[in-house]
Amino acid sequence: MSLMRPLAAVLRLVRVARGLSQEQFSGAVEARHIHNLENAKASATLVTLETLAGRLGIDPVALLAYASRLEQGVTPAQYVDYLNSELQKISDLGIDAQIADHYRDGDVVIQTPGRRTDPAKVQAVLEAKAAGKSKREISESLGIARSTVNDIWKKSDL
């Protein structure tokens, strides 16, 4: 499902309904880019969509929802029911209970990259290192990527 074409039409229609020309509508977004967006020749970034929605006085999600509703060919009531079911799918994943750990005070909580290495793998690498095996030998015998073996090796030297 591509929303580029229906969103182009929605942006154009709302702009015209507000009595704005592309030049008047522009500001943070160039008139040429608005022209391309409204003719489905360019896609909007989230920042661009937020900027345009702000100029139109409409929530950016409402613009996307309207475009999605057009794409699906359903009534507003049917689309609201659909959105409720989609939001419920997200809620059913347990997001509500975890969101405060990831989004707080209007900002995303920064996480360290990567995932923790299995402690059993770390122990196996350290034991093999203590036994005098090379990184290559450890990697091959344990079936662990060389980069992982190297990371564990370096951390143990600290």
Residue-wise pLDDT for 45-87, tens only, equals: 999 999 999 999 999 999 999 999 999 999 999 999 999 999 9
Q: What are phi and psi of 130, to 5 degrees?
A: -65, -30
pTM (whole model) above 0.75: no
Tens of pLDDT, residue by residue, the chain (158 residues): 799 999 999 999 999 999 998 888 777 789 899 999 999 999 999 999 999 999 999 999 999 999 999 999 999 999 999 999 999 999 999 999 999 999 999 999 988 777 778 889 999 999 999 999 999 999 999 999 999 999 898 888 76
Vertex 103, ends 100 and 106: CA angle to 5°? 120
List the structure tokens of 100.
């405060």
CA dihedral 121, 148, 145, 141 (to 10 degrees): -40
